Chains A and B, each alone.
Chain A
Amino acid sequence: MKKTKELATKVQKKNKSLQNKIQKKKGDLKFKIGDQNRLNIYW
């Protein structure tokens, strides 16, 4: 398998597993607000 495909598949599996866990949990979704707890979304 091509290396980039292999890596993409590896992260995709992690995502699917995390998504499953999130979907199964019951409760309120929370997002941290404010400079002290910035979502780390950048490059």
Chain B
Amino acid sequence: MTQNRPWIPYLLILPSVVFLGLLFIVPLVQTIWLAVSEDGAPSLANMQRMVTDINFMQSVRNTFLLTIVVVPVQIAIALAMGTMVAKIGRGRETILWIWTIPLGISDLAAGLVWLSILQNSGYFNSLLFSLGVISRQASWLSYQTPVALFIAIAVAEIWRGTAIVMVIIVAGLNQVPKEFKEAAEIFGAGPWTRFWKITLPLIRPALQSALILRTVLAFEVFAVVYALGGRNFPVLVGEAYNWQNQNQNYSVAAAYAVLIMVISLAATLVYLKAFKVDPERLP
């Protein structure tokens, strides 16, 4: 069917190629050029301004710390969810639906949800108060309590972002043939051995794409931070936003954007290399 009219597939993909060219490739090049030029000539002035900014080191550190803490916890919870749900028959659909609800929740909404719990007269303080841990309202989200603020943001991110990892991992687990598990059981492998030696290697592709997706998103963290801590907790995208909207300096904002892109690309390449998926070992 392809011989007589070979142009058909090209016609079908053309609109999306043009679209992505105009709104993905062009802005990508523009961002890079904005970041490394000044008045139309190549220059590292913007990079320099970014690096010497008072919030720069802090935002780099905060973003990396958040990613390092949040992503592994999300993967662990998602794996736990996946293995738990595989063991039950009735009620499986409902439980999966409940666990996927955060998939539809934006980072801004997640921040606001946890703000209602962690604000001074919120539910968390009420709980601590009734347990006798604190005697009056404690504040967790101010610049004086950076560690508590960090934990609050991490919890909100874990709460929201685990659903997507869970969906990818459950989709991966569904593709593992039952026979593998049964064979391992016959040969006497315990549940722990089965998990590490059978399940985990077989869902490597799913793990890889979950890790790439989540890590790229984690470096983009912004609204959840803003909702919980305002500007008390600088992160990379937040700085880009401030340079763009408050300072109206598009070039330094672009420099931040380039930095975030480089980090995201580097993380993706690391995952691709670390999880080299051998097609012959797939089910």
Chain A partners chain B: no
